[in-house]
């Protein structure tokens, strides 16, 4: 079942989201997109389809900036403040958990969405069973991960070995202090957008989905 829904934004307005719930789902991934994209870009669609094949429903949600009719994907247009991003992630998670309480809830997403989910959990622990970062955008800046020891949820980091925004060495250094609470999945040859030379995006999405499935089963 694929359904377009609305959830309450921090401003009080409604924000759009797409629910993709397979009949055999036992888990819900509240899935945010990267800063320059929307819920409709190929990576988000491919991830949602791959996760559905792994019995994982997805709630792909927009932020206020990306829901604006004037927003142009993959441009230099500004995003919302960290406060608004955090509040939006939390609101989308609350919507998902309220409407699908029988499903194990995961939250996070690609790039900024994974980062923001960790910000939120470090501030006020989220009620999700786990957090997933797909392409953590550390950008060589240790300040972007200083909050991670203050998080409480189990975490899965999915990172491409050719990610220019998060190298293997800095990601390994970053998650080391988190111990067994942090799981790691490397996608060989993947860029920040999870393009891999010689591979279809759908195949890469399947590999990511399988890692999410394993993580969901372990927490």
Sequence-ordered strand ranges (E) for the chain: 2-8, 14-20, 27-32, 56-61, 104-110, 130-134, 155-160, 182-187
Of 144, 140, 103, 148, give the one whose Cα is nearest residue 121: 148
* Residue carrying the six token digits 């719930």: 21
For residue 3, pLDDT over 90 is answered with yes
Checking if the pLDDT of 19 tops 90, the result is yes
Mean pLDDT score, 94-105: 98
Instruction: Examine the pLDDT at 74 and tell me if it is beyond 90.
Output: no
| Nearest-angstrom CA–CA distance, 60 and 62 | 7
Tell me the pLDDT tens digit for each residue of 102-154. 999 999 999 999 999 999 999 999 999 999 999 999 998 888 999 999 999 99
Res 217 pLDDT > 90: yes
* Confidence at 95, pLDDT banded by 50, 70, 90: very high
Pairing of strands 130-134, 182-187: unpaired
pLDDT above 90 for 185: yes
Give one word for 3, left, alpha or beta, with left for phi > 0 and alpha for psi -120 to 50.
beta
For the chain, report the end-to-end CA distance as a whole number of angstroms: 26
28: pLDDT strictly greater than 90 = yes
DSSP state of 43: H
Q: Where are the domains of the chain?
A: 2-218
Amino acid 134: pLDDT: 98
pTM (2 d.p.): 0.96
Rounded alpha-carbon distances, angstroms, from residue 1 to 5, 108, 211: 12, 22, 23
Residue 51 has a pLDDT of 98
**φ, ψ dihedrals at 4, nearest 5°:** -85, 130
- CATH architecture of residue range(s) 2-218: 3-Layer(aba) Sandwich (3.40)
């Amino acid at each position: 079942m694929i359904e377009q829904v609305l959830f309450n934004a921090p401003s009080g307005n409604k924000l759009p989201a797409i629910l993709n719930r397979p009949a055999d789902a036992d888990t819900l991934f509240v899935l945010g997109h990267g800063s320059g994209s929307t819920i409709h870009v190929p990576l988000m669609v491919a991830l949602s389809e791959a996760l559905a094949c792994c019995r994982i429903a997805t709630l792909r949600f927009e932020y206020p900036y990306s829901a604006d009719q004037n927003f142009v994907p993959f441009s230099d247009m500004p995003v919302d403040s960290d406060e608004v991003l955090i509040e939006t992630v939390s609101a989308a998670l609350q919507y998902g958990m309220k409407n699908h309480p029988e499903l194990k809830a995961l939250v996070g997403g690609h790039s900024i969405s994974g980062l923001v989910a960790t910000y939120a959990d470090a501030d006020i622990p989220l009620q999700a069973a786990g957090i997933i970062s797909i392409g953590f955008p550390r950008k060589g800046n240790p300040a972007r991960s200083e909050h991670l020891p203050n998080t409480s949820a189990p975490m899965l980091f999915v990172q491409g070995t050719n990610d220019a925004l998060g190298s293997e060495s800095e990601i390994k250094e970053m998650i080391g202090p988190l111990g067994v609470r942090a799981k790691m999945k490397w996608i060989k040859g993947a860029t920040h957008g999870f393009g891999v030379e010689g591979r279809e995006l759908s195949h890469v999405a399947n590999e990511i989905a399988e890692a999410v499935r394993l993580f969901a089963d372990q927490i």
